[in-house]
Amino acid sequence: MEYLAGGSLTDVVTETCMDEGQIAAVCREITPEQSKRSTMVGTPYWMAPEVVTRKAYGPKVDIWSLGIMAIEMVEGEPPYLNENPLRALYLIATNGTPELQNPERLSAVFRDFLNRCLEMDVDRRGSAKELLQHPFLKLAKPLSSLTPLIIAAKEAIKNSSR
Q: Is the dihedral of CA 106, 112, 118, 119 positive or negative?
A: positive
pTM check: above 0.75? no
**pLDDT for residue 16:** 55
Q: Residue 81 pLDDT more than 80?
A: yes
**pLDDT for residue 12:** 43
Residue 2, φ and ψ in degrees, nearest 5: -55, -30
DSSP state letters, 52-86: HTT--B-THHHHHHHHHHHHHHHHSS-TTTTS-HH
Range among 3-12, 51-60, 103-112 with highest mean pLDDT value: 103-112
Q: Are 80 and 98 in contact (CB under 8 A)?
A: yes
Domains in the chain, start-ordered, CATH in brackets?
Answer: 20-160 (1.10.510.10)
- With both helix axes pointing from N to C terminus, report the angle between 108-117 and 60-75 in degrees, rounded to the nearest 10: 140
CB atoms within 10 A of CB 150: 11
Q: Given pLDDT bands bounded at 50, 70 and 90, which one contains residue 92? A: very high
142-159 per-position pLDDT tens digit:
888 989 999 999 999 999
131-141 per-position pLDDT tens digit:
999 999 999 99
